[in-house]
Amino acid sequence: LVFGIMTGMAQGFSILISQYYGAGEKENLKRAVAKSYVLTAILSIIVLVLSEVTVQQVLQFLHTPENVIGLSLMYIRMVFAGIPIIAAYNIFAAILRALGNSRSPLIAMIMAAFINVGLDLLFVAVFGWGVLGAAIATVIAQGVSGIGITIAALWKNPQLFPKKEQRIFRKTTFSEVGRYAFFTCLQQSVMNFGILMIQGLVNSFGPVVMAAFAAAVKIDSFAYLPVQDFGNAYSTF
C-alpha cells in the first residue's frame, strides 16, 4: 500500500511535467519539478515516521501469528528504511518518462530485479541469513536502482536543477501537482488496499497459508504488471 502511494504520487507529478515539457514552458517545468522534489521529500518523511510508529499495530490488526510477528517487524522496518531511496527512484523515473526517456527507468528496474534475486539467493541460501537477508537484498537492490537513476537523470538533464527563484512556494503550482498526484495515488492504492484487507483474513489461517498466499500474490503481480504499466503510460498522455 505504501509503495502504491509513492508510485501513484510520482505518476501524478509526471502528468503535469509532461504537459509543461510538451508545451515548451521551461520555467513552469522547472517549478513543477522543484515542487515535486519538495512534496516527495515531505511525503517520504511522513510515511517513514508513520510506518515506524504504527507497523506493529497494523500487523496485529491483520491477525499476524505471534510466531512470525517478530520476523515480520524486522523485515518491514528494514525495507521501509529504504523509503527515501524508493521515492527517489519513483520521482526520477516518472520525470524521465515525462521527458520522453522510458529506457533509463526500464534499465534501472531490470538491474534492481536481477540484483534482488541474486542477493536473495546469496544471503538466504548461501549465508543462511533468512528473513534479514531477504530484507537486506531488497534494500540494496532498491538503492542501486534509486541512486543510479537519480545520477543518470540529473547528469543528462540540466533542466532538472531548478534555480532558487523557481523553488519559491507558489500555491497554484502546489495545487496543480497535488491534484494530479491525489488521483493517481488513489488509483494505484485501490488494489493494494484490497490485498491488505484480504491479507488480514489469510493471516488467521497460520504461516503456511500466509506463505502460499504471498507466493500467489507475486504471480498475480506479474500478470497484472503489463496492464498497470499501460495505464501509467496512458495517464501521461
What are the tens digits of pLDDT across the range 59-116?
888 888 888 888 889 988 888 888 888 888 888 888 888 888 888 888 888 888 889 8
Question: Residue 169 phi/psi, 5° resolution?
Answer: -65, 125
pTM of the model as a whole = 0.79
Residue 171's pLDDT is what? 62
Alpha-carbon torsion angle 29, 31, 33, 38, nearest 10? -170
| pLDDT band for position 226 (cuts 50, 70, 90) | confident
pLDDT tens digit sequence for 118-158: 999 999 999 999 989 989 998 999 899 889 888 888 888 87
CA distance 138 to 236: 29
